[in-house]
Amino acid sequence: MTATMKAAVYHALDDIRLEERPVPQIGPDEILLKTLACGLCGGETMAWYKKAEPKVLGHEPIGEVVEVGAQITDYKIGDRLFINHHVGRVDSHLSRRGHFTRDPFYSSMKLDPGGVCEYYRVTAQHLAMDAHKLPDSISTEAAVTIEPWSCVMSGLKVCNIQPGDTVAVVGAGFMGQGFVHLAPLFGAGKVIALDFSDWRLERAREFGATHTINPKTEDAVAALRAANNGRLADTVIVIAPFPQAWAQAEDLVEVGGTLHLGAPLAPGTDWVRDGARAYFDQITVTSRYSSDHTDTYSYIRLLEAGRIRADAAISHRFDIAESARAFEMLRAAEKSLKIVVYPHGIPKEKAHA
């Protein structure tokens, strides 16, 4: 092992630097992973969401064990692992009520120093709560989707979808594609994707959307009714983090349906609703922040069973030296889905994929 490693460090939205950082030192109950690949998350483009700067970019890594602490018996050098970047605990009021991700302990637990670097340290709590050896049937790139699409899984668990329900997804970026793709596993019948980008809507069809609507060129409510026997959607999931998108999403929910907030608005942003409709339409509003150990476990089993086309969601690959360009593509949010960075170089078989 060398003493230092390369890391892509976020200083500002337009300032991603490749820096030399110390390779983390592990304790007797910890392990060190070599980063095989790491996905970039759209949440990393929300400057207000950053808790501290500078910060090593990325929180969706897949790693290979290269060092184990003296007390470690469950893992060995060479194991390929998914470790959730945040993990909860069981002995708190919020956790005991099922809100693991809202316990402040959850966000305090982090991989050291992050994902887009050559090596990262995993704590004993991570190993105890949300660590998974990956079978050969799950590719490393497919595994990169475990963290983000487990968040999709978490959201779908509270969407109240009944068998045959019509589900509309507002915003067809990578996370929106996840909701489109996984909603049928929860019983959805028609799945309708809405986005301003025809390119993204084409991808949504590939991931299972039965209908697509571009609100820029057509009346979304009228188009939804035309596709759904005159009715609105039983569940509407809004991923686009803009007040206008939330208003549009609410207009698409049928009486007695569910509106799921799949991404946050910036702090201080008002969301105004019609009070009479809020009462009489009996619409349930849900949200879920991140994913806990039960969500990742569910997702990995579905992935292993071949129910999820995760590999198809990888649109671009970059070497760690190109992290700034990868992040700029993420910010542009145009013709891309999941962007993956390879800290040790893009594998030859993926270089021209």
Residue 288 in tokens = 């879920």
DSSP one-letter code for 4: E
3-state secondary structure at position 211: strand
Q: Please tell me whether residues 143 and 239 are part of one structural domain.
A: no
Environment class of 276 (CB within 10 Å of its CB; exposed 0-12, middle 13-18, buried 19+):
exposed
Consecutive 10-residue averages of pLDDT for the chain (353 residues)? 94 96 98 98 87 89 98 98 97 97 97 98 98 97 98 98 98 98 98 98 98 98 98 98 96 98 96 95 98 98 98 98 97 96 92 69
146 and 9 belong to one structural domain: yes
Overall domain count for the chain: 2
Own/partner pairs, 63-66, CB within 8 angstroms, 24+ separation? 63/33, 63/34, 63/35, 63/36, 63/120, 63/122, 64/33, 64/34, 64/36, 65/31, 65/32, 65/33, 65/34, 66/1, 66/32, 66/33, 66/34, 66/119
Q: Which domain CATH number covers 176?
A: 3.40.50.720
Q: Which of 136, 130, 161, 140 is nearest to 291 (CA)?
A: 130
Within this chain, do residues 172 and 232 fall inside the same structural domain, yes or no?
yes
pLDDT, one tens digit per residue, over 288-332 is 999 999 999 999 999 999 999 999 999 999 999 999 999 999 999
Last residue of a domain, one of 236, 263, 287: 287
Query: Do residue 110 and residue 237 come from a single domain?
Result: no
Cα–Cα distances (Å) from 12 to 29, 287, 324, 339, in that order, read: 34, 28, 11, 19
- Tokens coding 66: 């290269």
Q: Which one of 271, 287, 303 terminates a domain?
A: 287
User: Which tens digit of pLDDT belongs to each residue from 68-102?
Assistant: 999 999 999 999 999 999 999 999 999 999 999 99
- Domain endpoint, select from 287, 306, 341: 287
pTM of the model: 0.97
Q: Chain-wide mean pLDDT for the chain?
A: 96
Domain boundaries, position 61:
4-150+291-350
Answer yes or no: are the C-beta atoms of 65 and 79 closer than 8 Å: yes
Q: Do 277 and 313 share a domain, yes or no? A: no
